[in-house]
Every structure is written in structure tokens, then in C-alpha cells.
């Protein structure tokens, strides 16, 4: 039976020994709470680090593993140093601050930590592969395991793999600071579905993939390694019904009443955060101080409660941060406290969920002002707890939750004056307006709860991992086997049909920089001494003539519109008067070229090409979509076709394509000759389609192809040609 394999850095279980007895306690973090439902309902297996077991005896460790197995949890055992470098060193010393835009805290000299990050991701891949059975669905979570999807794809090519990022994905300009950016992007693209909290995070990842790997993502997917990787927006949520149940519980209501009584009739403004530098607590304290300075008449009417939950207590940076926060609270209370009360009631400890909900119920205003946050579930929990539809939520515009909770009072957490003003606005908001806002917020949180989130992601993963019938067969998914190489090597006669750009030479920023080198010219000359060699290129015939005219080759230019047989000095066109359409289209391309720095037009006899390889990726994508739309309005579908290539859009007459030269080539091929065709892009698919099944077809690169085999790049093509000619 197919299962769900949940993979995260930590298991949702803490292990400890109490008076000699082994105790397993469920964790209360956001990821643990979010995935508890799928883990229980779907009988899923959860794979992750079980926490430090240094204090356990060997027998207790065995007992712990057995106890974990009983609740379908599989531990990944890590050494203390390895775990420290992986988690504290790279995950939280590099990725966490980078993804939250706190660049001054990013350690970019972290080679040893990066090596540990790679090793631990490999360890997780081994653990998942050991648990995997055909049909299982794998769901990987968060920034600690961003290499894992590709590692799993290598071990388990046919597996359904989803990845969800629980933190923000930064803008491409910020992400590209990372020295290991390419490995991270390639790691993530091993998944079938990548999930993000917001459309903004998804857009940032797509832009990063475009910059780092030169890919052309659309809004919802990226083509990579011959696969389509879906990009989804799945804002995580909470178990709203459980929070509502707790909020209505008599014991919680009684605790909330006690909190209000302690406030002595003052309005309560609440903040609940992990004591992390991303949460903006110091700037929030400055905003509270500004409020107390601006509103002296309200000083004795408001009580600020700040619950700071300990996190990463062993890290030096966090110890310093804790000291700064404590000193700020002391300074503000010392300046603005009275003989009757202090303005800020500060608690630095963990609190059970029922007491947290009591605080939500008691608070008149919830202050959620992170500097940057993937989602922030505290905001949603506060909303769910307001069962009387009262209260006011102040929410940072840089929290992912801001994209959903539009009725909250939105603030810029860096602007302490506006946060102070928002506090006054929330405290003085008419009750009718409060109820209107909160009712709308509660409906949205209740509708889009954590169960809907999980099921939506799994449904999308199921759709993303399903094979596309249009691409299912055949597809270039195999390297050229040695048996095929031997067959070609010993064939009595061989006919080669070779593309040029991307096949015999790598792509260059501009076409003129991709002239053939002496090694290639010598290789083609040597090959043509025994074999028939056809070069079929989209290049203008002038380029092909200049580069290869002196070699004993059959030449085909402009996608086969022009051909120059070996024994002929003249180029022969495929048909006459095929370029009457170009005037209007050329004018449109010129307009887009003027508005797109780095782009240029290449004109051939019967085609026009708009190149955008050196254009900034976001601008290229935007203008390419607009250009396609404008061309679709003007171009006759029956007469012309738009052909997307490697950073180029080509407009050509319908029916003029490389496949048209195949019958001409095959008419002159001996019966026992081995035909080998090699190409890298969409234009070469027409050749593959026109050839008989007996031909050896090879796709270069990672795109989807009908070719039987594939090679990674132009260098591999040359090595193949040399090995067969030798």
C-alpha cells in the first residue's frame, strides 16, 4: 500500500529520560503541528533527526528507536559535531539570515559547514531511500533539506517528490549572494512540486532559477532536466477548529479573565514570538516606547505583554540578542513605569498552548511585527481564538500572512512611528469596525485551515507527478549505451545529421562568438573522410558557408530552407518567395528590441529571430510574453509559426523546418547505412520526427525530447564523435 513519507530536519518528538524511564513528548512547533494531521490520518512515516541522544545508554537508544517505530517515526542518526555544523553552522548561520534579508548576519565563509550540509542531506537521502516502496509519496520540508529532492531523484527516479519551504524565498538579487546558489537551486528542482507560502516567494524562486541556471520559467512551472517542476502557492495555516475549541473551553476562559483582572482594567496589547532576530522585537519595543511618549494620557490605560519563547539558546548571537532585548525592556519600564504599574510585562519562557490561547482571548490588540516571516501562524491563531469577533490584529507587511489577512492593520515594522500610530488606532477602533474586520479574518482562517493546506499540496503533487501524455513517449532519458556506440562504430556506412549551436559548440552570448574552433573543424574533416556528414543549422547560409564551405560536408542553413550538397557550389532554396510577410513583423520586433536592452534581431532569408540571451531574466520573460501576444494578434496561424529556442524566439513560414531536409538526405543513403542525428532544441525535434525508428537519435541537454538517447552537452557530443571515428 502506498504511503506518505514526511521528511523534516527534526522528528516531531522529544526524547528524554525521567527517573530512569524513557519519555517521548510531542513537539509544539509550527511544522510539527501542521503535519500532525497527515501523519495520523494517512498512517504516514515521519523521517528526521530525533534530537541529541548523548545522555542515553546503548540500551536506551535501542528502546528509543523501538518506541519511535511504534509511532511510525524513523530517526536519522547524526553526530554532535555534524549536527552542529549542518544546523547551527549552515542552515541557521547562512540560509536562515539570508532568506530573511539580514545580510549582515550571513556567514559566507562557511565551507566546512557547507560540506556538513551536503553530508547530512546525503544521510537523509539514504534514510528515505531505505524506507521507500514503489508508489510512496515523499514530502520534504524546509530549508535544512534543500539538496534532498535532487538526491532522492537520483536514487528514486520514478518517485513522487514534493518540497515545501516554510520560510521566505528571497529576491534573486539577495539569493545570488550565496556562493552555493547553483547547488541549492538544482537540489530543489529534483522535486515534482515546490510549494511556497506566497506568490511573491514563488516569483523570487523562479527569478533565481532564471538568473542562476539560465532557465525560462513560466508562472507555475520550470522545465529542467527533461522534467516539468511545478511551482505552487500553498499558504500554511493552523488547526482553526482546535484553537476555537480551546478558546471556548471554560478553563481557558477563566485564565483569560484572570489575565484581564491582573491588567487592572487596562487594555492589553500582546506580542508572542520566538526570541529570534527576524521577529523584530527590538523595533517593536521602540514603537511601544514611541507610543508611550506620544500618548501620555493612555500610559496608564494600556498593558503590553510580550512573551518571548526561547530558541537556539546555545548560539552566541542569540545570547547577545537576548541581552539586548532584556535591557531594552528594563530601560523602557524604568523610564515609563509608575508606582502603580510597569508598561511592559515581559516573559522569557515557553508556555503551553492552552495558556497561549488564554492570552489570545484576553488581548485587545495583537502585535505581530516581524522584520520578515515566511507566514507567521501566531497571527492566524489570534484570529481563530477571537470567537466573539472582537479584538484587533496589527500585522507586518513583511509577514507571509499579510497576503491573506487583508483586514488586519498593516504596518511597516521598520517605521516605528507608524507602528506606534497603529497601536493607538487599534485601541481606539470602534467595536463595530473591529467586529467587521475580525469576522472576515476568522472566516478566511477557518476556511483555509491546516487540513485544507495539506490536502491541497498533496493533490497538486499528485497532479504534478503524473506523466504528461504528450511527453510520455518517447523521451530522451538515457545516455547512449555502449552497445549502440559499438554498433555505430562498426557500421559499414554512416550518415551524420548534426545541428550546430548547442550541439557542436556551446551557446555564446551573441551568435558571432560561437564560430567553430580548429579542433571542431579538424574533427568534422576527419569524420567526413569516411562518413557522409550533414550540418543542419538555423544559422544564415553566409555563416555556414564561411565556416564550413571549404570542408567536404553537406550543408543546410536556416532550418533547411537553403541546402548546399557536397558536389554543388550553389545553395538551393526549399521554395521561392517565402519572405513576403517579414515587413510588419520586423517592425514589431524592432519596437521590442528598443525597449529590451541586450536583445537583438537576427534576420535570415525567410525567418526573423529575436535573441534575448543577455537580457535580464525578469524583463526578458515579461517582454517575451508580451511579444508572443502581439505576434499572435498579427501573425496568420496558417502561414507562420512561432518557435521558442534557447533564449530566442523565431518566426518562420509554416512548413519550413529541419525535418524537410530528411527525405533529401535519406534518398541518397545506402540501405545498410547507420543514420545518426544529434540536436539540442525544438527545431531538431522535426528531424527526429522525420527519421525512421531505426535511426539513432540523440538529444543534447535536459529538455524533453522524442530522441532515443541523450548527451549532456556539446563536449560530450565531440567525445562521442571522436570515439566512433577512432
How many angstroms from the chain centroid is the CA of residue 55?
38
Exposed, middle or buried, 572 (CB in 10 Å: 0-12/13-18/19+)?
exposed
Give the integer Cα–Cα distance in Å for 581 and 710: 37
What is residue 516's DSSP assignment?
P
C-alpha span between 56 and 67 (Å, rounded):
14
CA pair distance 542, 557, nearest whole angstrom = 9
Between CA 278 and CA 414 the distance in angstroms is 12
Residue 512 designated active-site:
no
Instruction: Output the CA–CA distances (angstroms, integers) from residue 305 to 55, 318, 328, in the order listed.
Output: 37, 21, 14
- Contact between 318 and 93 under an 8 Å Cβ cutoff? The reply is no
Please, what sign has the CA dihedral across residues 575, 580, 581, 587?
positive
Coil, strand or helix: which one is 382? helix
Separation of alpha carbons 670 and 165, rounded Å: 57
Candidate list 499, 531, 681, 686, residue with the active-site label: 499
Phi first, then psi: give them for residue 318, nearest 5 degrees: -75, -35
**Positions of E strands within 387-490:** 392-396, 409-411
- Residue 474: asked if its preceding bond is cis (omega within 30°), the reply is yes
9 touches 121 (CB < 8 A)? no
Which residue shows C-alpha cell 487592572? Answer: 264
Angle between helices 617-634 and 199-213 (to 10 degrees): 100
Give the DSSP letter of residue 479.
Answer: B
User: In a 3-state reduction of DSSP, which class is residue 712?
Assistant: coil
Residues catalogued as catalytic: 499
Amino acid at each position: 500500500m502506498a504511503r506518505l513519507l514526511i521528511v523534516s530536519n527534526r522528528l516531531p518528538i522529544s526524547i528524554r529520560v525521567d527517573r530512569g524511564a524513557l519519555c517521548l513528548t510531542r513537539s509544539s512547533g509550527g511544522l510539527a503541528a501542521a503535519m500532525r494531521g497527515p501523519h495520523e490520518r494517512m498512517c504516514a512515516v515521519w523521517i528526521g533527526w530525533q534530537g541529541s541522544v548523548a545522555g542515553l545508554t546503548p540500551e536506551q537508544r535501542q528502546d528509543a528507536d523501538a518506541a519511535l517505530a511504534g509511532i511510525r517515526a524513523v530517526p536519522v542518526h547524526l553526530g554532535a559535531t555534524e549536527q552542529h555544523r549542518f544546523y547551527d553552522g549552515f542552515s541557521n548561520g547562512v540560509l536562515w539570515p539570508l532568506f530573511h534579508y539580514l545580510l549582515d548576519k550571513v556567514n559566507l565563509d562557511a565551507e566546512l559547514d557547507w560540506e556538513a550540509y551536503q553530508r547530512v542531506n546525503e544521510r537523509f537521502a539514504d534514510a528515505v531511500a531505505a524506507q521507500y516502496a514503489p508508489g510512496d509519496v515523499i514530502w520534504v520540508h524546509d530549508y535544512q533539506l534543500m539538496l534532498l529532492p535532487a538526491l532522492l531523484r537520483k536514487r528514486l527516479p520514478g518517485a513522487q517528490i514534493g518540497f515545501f519551504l516554510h520560510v521566505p524565498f528571497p529576491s534573486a538579487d539577495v539569493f545570488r549572494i550565496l556562493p552555493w546558489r547553483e547547488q541549492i537551486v538544482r537540489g530543489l528542482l529534483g522535486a515534482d512540486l515546490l510549494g511556497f507560502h506566497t506568490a511573491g516567494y514563488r516569483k523570487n524562486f523562479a527569478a533565481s532559477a532564471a538568473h542562476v541556471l539560465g532557465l525560462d520559467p513560466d508562472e507555475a512551472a520550470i522545465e529542467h532536466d527533461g522534467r516539468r517542476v511545478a511551482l505552487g502557492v500553498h499558504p500554511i495555516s493552523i488547526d482553526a477548529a482546535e484553537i476555537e475549541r480551546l478558546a471556548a473551553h471554560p478553563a481557558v476562559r477563566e485564565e483569560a479573565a484572570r489575565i484581564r483582572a491582573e491588567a487592572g482594567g487596562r487594555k492589553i496589547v500582546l506580542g508572542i514570538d520566538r526570541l529570534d532576530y527576524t521577529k523584530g522585537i527590538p523595533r517593536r519595543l521602540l514603537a511601544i516606547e514611541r507610543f508611550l511618549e506620544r500618548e501620555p494620557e493612555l500610559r496608564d490605560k494600556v498593558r503590553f505583554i510580550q512573551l518571548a519563547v526561547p530558541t537556539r539558546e546555545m548560539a552566541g548571537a542569540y545570547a547577545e540578542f537576548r541581552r539586548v532585548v532584556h535591557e531594552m525592556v528594563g530601560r523602557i519600564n524604568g523610564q515609563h513605569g509608575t508606582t502603580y504599574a510597569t508598561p511592559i510585562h515581559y516573559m522569557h519562557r515557553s508556555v503551553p498552548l492552552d495558556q497561549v490561547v488564554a492570552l489570545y482571548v484576553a488581548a485587545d490588540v495583537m502585535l505581530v511585527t516581524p522584520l520578515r516571516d515566511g507566514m507567521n501562524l501566531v497571527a492566524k491563531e489570534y484570529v481563530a481564538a477571537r470567537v466573539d469577533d472582537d479584538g484587533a490584529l496589527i500585522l507586518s507587511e513583511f509577514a507571509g500572512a499579510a497576503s491573506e489577512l487583508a483586514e488586519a492593520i498593516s504596518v511597516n515594522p521598520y517605521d516605528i512611528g507608524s507602528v506606534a500610530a497603529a497601536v493607538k488606532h487599534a485601541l481606539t477602533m470602534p467595536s463595530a469596525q473591529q467586529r467587521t474586520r475580525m469576522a472576515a479574518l476568522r472566516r478566511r482562517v477557518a476556511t483555509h485551515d491546516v487540513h485544507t493546506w495539506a490536502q491541497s499540496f498533496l493533490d497538486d503533487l499528485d497532479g504534478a507527478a503524473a506523466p504528461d501524455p504528450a511527453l510520455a513517449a518517447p523521451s530522451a532519458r538515457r545516455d547512449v549505451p555502449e552497445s549502440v556506440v559499438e554498433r555505430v562504430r562498426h557500421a559499414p556506412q554512416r550518415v551524420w545529421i548534426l545541428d550546430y549551436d548547442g550541439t557542436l559548440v556551446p551557446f555564446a552570448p551573441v551568435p558571432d562568438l560561437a564560430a567553430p574552433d580548429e579542433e571542431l573543424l579538424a574533427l568534422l574533416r576527419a569524420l567526413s573522410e569516411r562518413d557522409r556528414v550533414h550540418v543542419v543549422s538555423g544559422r544564415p547560409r553566409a555563416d555556414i558557408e564561411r565556416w564550413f564551405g571549404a570542408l567536404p560536408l553537406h550543408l543546410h542553413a536556416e532550418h533547411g530552407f537553403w541546402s548546399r550538397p557536397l558536389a554543388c557550389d550553389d545553395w538551393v532554396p526549399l521554395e521561392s518567395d517565402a519572405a513576403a510577410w517579414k515587413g510588419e513583423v520586423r517592425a514589431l520586433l524592432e519596437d521590442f528590441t528598443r525597449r529590451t536592452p541586450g536583445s537583438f534581431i537576427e534576420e535570415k532569408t525567410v525567418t526573423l529571430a529575436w535573441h534575448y540571451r543577455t537580457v535580464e531574466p525578469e524583463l526578458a520573460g515579461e517582454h517575451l510574453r508580451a511579444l508572443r501576444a502581439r505576434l499572435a494578434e498579427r501573425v496568420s496561424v496558417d502561414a507562420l509559426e512561432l518557435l521558442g529556442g534557447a533564449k530566442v524566439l523565431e518566426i518562420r513560414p509554416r512548413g519550413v523546418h529541419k525535418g524537410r531536409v530528411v527525405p533529401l538526405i535519406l534518398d541518397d543513403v545506402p540501405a545498410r547505412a547507420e543514420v545518426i542525428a544529434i540536436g539540442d532544441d525544438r527545431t531538431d525535434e522535426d528531424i527526429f520526427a522525420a527519421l525512421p525508428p531505426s535511426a539513432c537519435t540523440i538529444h543534447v541537454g535536459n529538455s524533453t525530447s522524442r530522441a532515443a538517447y541523450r548527451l549532456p552537452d556539446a563536449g560530450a557530443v565531440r567525445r562521442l564523435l571522436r570515439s566512433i571515428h577512432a
